[in-house]
Amino acid sequence: MSGSNGQGELEIKVTLADGVERTLSFDLNALEKVYEKTGENPLEQSFWSKPTGQYEQDGRGNVLYFDEQGQQLPAGKIGKPKRIMRMDLTPAKIKALVWAGLGDAAPDPKEIGKLVTMRNLSAVTESVFNLFTAGMGAEVAEAHPFGSSAPLQ
């Protein structure tokens, strides 16, 4: 569950495989660590998801078109097709996010791999994503693997 630490910083509690509840938060230093570890910017949608070669379609297989605000256009109007997105969170990205989010309390980065296991992977990933969504709003939420996708640019 995300909340504030009283200083306006968003944070979230996660329980890792060792049973210890820890606090994740992302200041600019943490975001820089993620970038240094992954070579990708966690503030960009492409960090979280990538477009597939497929486009959203109606029930009859017709490609759907959208305006600049992402609103579906009526049949017969041409706009931008909306690509179907796929989640692109690799184990390395998840590990970098958890390590950076723990800040000074983070164990060695190699230890993070032992603390995020198949038992807690989904919960940890969802917690990190929810924290980013709360902090960044629609820009990151657009990349949510279970949410909508952005129109082609």
- Structure token digits, residue 96: 């970098």
Alpha-carbon span 84 to 107, nearest angstrom: 37
Query: Which one, of 82, 16, 23, 14, lies nearest residue 54 by Cα?
Result: 82
Q: 127 CB contacts (<8 Å, ≥6 apart)?
A: 2, 12, 13, 14, 24
pLDDT reported for residue 140: 53
Low-confidence ranges of the chain (pLDDT < 70): 1-9, 136-153
pLDDT reported for residue 7: 53
pLDDT reported for residue 151: 34
DSSP 8: S
pLDDT reported for residue 89: 86
- Annotate 22-77 with three-state secondary structure: EEEECCHHHHHHHHHHHCCCCCCHHHHEEEEEEECECCCCCECEECCCCCECCCCC
